[in-house]
Chain A
């Protein structure tokens, strides 16, 4: 299919959308703006409201309150079949009694496209997902990855301005998943359609998305590019959900410009302070931490915490260490191949620059929802 710069895809606007089931709020005031042609990923643990959001956009679920605009038109109350939105389901949802060709032709038949045009468009959509040779097969004769590609072709064949995908790669193995991620990215670039993609896999979200909306307990915690979420998490939940992280908790004391945490007798400082009375914690990324044998001297101004190596993992491109700190918490450190290597049980010092520590409000949901 030709890129369609004139028809780039629909903008989506959710304004304080709430979906309640009795007293339980599956969505609790979700507001999200998606640009035309954007690849937006809804990321979060199960039960966080990301799939409910998708169902609300698709028209499978009614909203309790709030506004929903697709292409600047309100679609609240519009039934699913009138929304003209492509949907790809986790378990493919191909019609088992139709061949691949008839599956893909189905939305065109419904729209009264004549047979000659239908044939051309079906062939084009199947070619786009590299399934052109399979039109006469039945879905049961295809592998999971092939079925999902057919489902994708069926969802784009009628040129919807918006495509929704609900964990489409969730049922596939890792190799295939990684390869299909790149395929989806390519199709998104070629079509220029707005994509909304639901996943609980943060790596997948980072690979695919222009922007990511992180969901937790029916709310959006933060919206941003992968880099923004990794470097500048707005909440502890986001910091822990995206990428590896070490969270330092201790007795906190803030003066005008800096915050000090005392962890099992050792103090670390960060040159910032958190507004308000909340209890601050420090979040550190593994590549911002370094290890040193106990007793070696360090540069002045570097924070140091003593610990022991609890796990050493060789990753090929470097090493990953889990360091048990004096208060029992575990820090994750990634060190380059060129650095020193440490053995299990070795006494080490964990060093970091206070400027690299993110100060965040302690959020009890961050730990409980992750496991």
Chain B
């Protein structure tokens, strides 16, 4: 029976002598990466181990001070919250983008992109106007008869501001995965007896997870290094690691300690990603996409 079915011919092998050629095209990117990422990274690692003298004293200092560990933990907590808020806000938005006609889709895309074209500082300052104790949100609450809530200089304020800035990084990867999902699959699930909600959770959601993971990783990592938003919207109890690094490097000129903090953040991030990788590895194959 399978003898009847067509077999695909193996692709012609690339001639061995020229196999390196396509890789030559990546050279400009590799040079750039080496120059702007590789060199500074190596320098920072070296300085964290060599200033003021060779040894691990900067790391001993970092892990010896409870305030540093608290800030490190808070950095990850805030980033996780920001990621969660972004997933919850972006998922329906990206889905809507796949469901509407081209004209409305353009409007939706513009709504995502326009904030990108506005400077981060300006956007954060506008959040200050909205969130501050005498700001728009609190004025509205008070005029509606509620007591005001404290938003600025709290962790909540920081999460709100960061999520808004990072939302596009969640929406765009999600949209690109969702638009590849064949909606006939949902129809098939319906015909096989699945309620709409069941069809969503058993078919659509699992197929959209690669987009969720891709967006979540980008948002989470960008959030870990956020500086301006937490600095302007946050208070002393919502300091993130980037602010501490800034203080060490620019105010105290302690390059070694600042470098050590950066390295700790980097290594912790890698460890977390390594732990998450088995969950995120998509078990399904890429077929079934148009």
Binding site for B on A (CB under 8 A): 58-60, 79-81, 83-87, 89, 91, 93-98, 106-107, 110-111, 130, 138-141, 143, 145-146, 154-155, 158, 173, 175-176, 179
Contact = CB atoms under 8 A, between A and B. Distances in A.
A160 to B, nearest CB: 9
A298 B192 CA distance: 63
Nearest to A140: B287
B49 to A, nearest CB: 46
Pick the most buried of A85, A143, A146, A155: most chain B CB atoms within 10 A of its CB: A143
Contacts of B284: 96-98, 138
B116 to A, nearest CB: 32
Contact of B185 (A84, A93, A110, A176): A93
Nearest to A90: B184
Given A97-B284, A143-B5, A60 B187 contact: yes
Contacts of A146: 2, 5
B279 interface: no
B198 to A, nearest CB: 7
Given A93-B184, A96-B285, A138-B284, A87 B5 contact: no
Contacts of B188: 87, 89, 93-95
B187 A106 contact: no
Contacts of B5: 143, 145-146, 176
Pick the most buried of B192, B195, B285: most chain A CB atoms within 10 A of its CB: B192
Instruction: Using C-beta atoms within 8 Å of the partner chain, give the interface range for chain B.
Output: 20 to 34
Interface in B244-290: 282-289
A95 B188 CA distance: 9
B130 interface: no
Contact of B182 (A93, A130, A154): A93
Given A91-B182, A95-B188, A96-B207, 14 more contacts: A81-B193, A81-B194, A83-B191, A87-B187, A94-B188, A95-B185, A96-B284, A97-B206, A97-B284, A98-B284, A110-B194, A139-B285, A140-B287, A146-B2
A107 B203 CA distance: 13
B4 interface: yes
A81 B6 contact: no
B191 A85 contact: yes
Contacts of B191: 58-60, 80-81, 83, 85-87, 155
B195 A81 contact: yes
Nearest to B8: A143
B85 interface: no
Pick the most buried of A83, A85, A87, A173: most chain B CB atoms within 10 A of its CB: A87
Contacts, number: 101
B184 A89 contact: yes
A80 B285 CA distance: 28
9 contacts: A87-B191, A95-B288, A96-B289, A106-B202, A110-B192, A110-B193, A143-B5, A155-B191, A179-B4
B285 A141 contact: yes
B200 to A, nearest CB: 12
Contacts of B288: 93-96, 139-140
A154 B187 CA distance: 14
A176 B6 contact: yes
Contacts of B203: 95
A96 B286 contact: yes
Interface in B69-83: none
Contacts of B179: none
B1 A80 contact: no
B190 interface: yes
Contacts of B185: 93, 95-96
Contacts of A175: 4
B109 interface: no
Contact of A111 (B193, B282, B285): B193
Contacts of B285: 96, 138-141
A139 B193 CA distance: 21
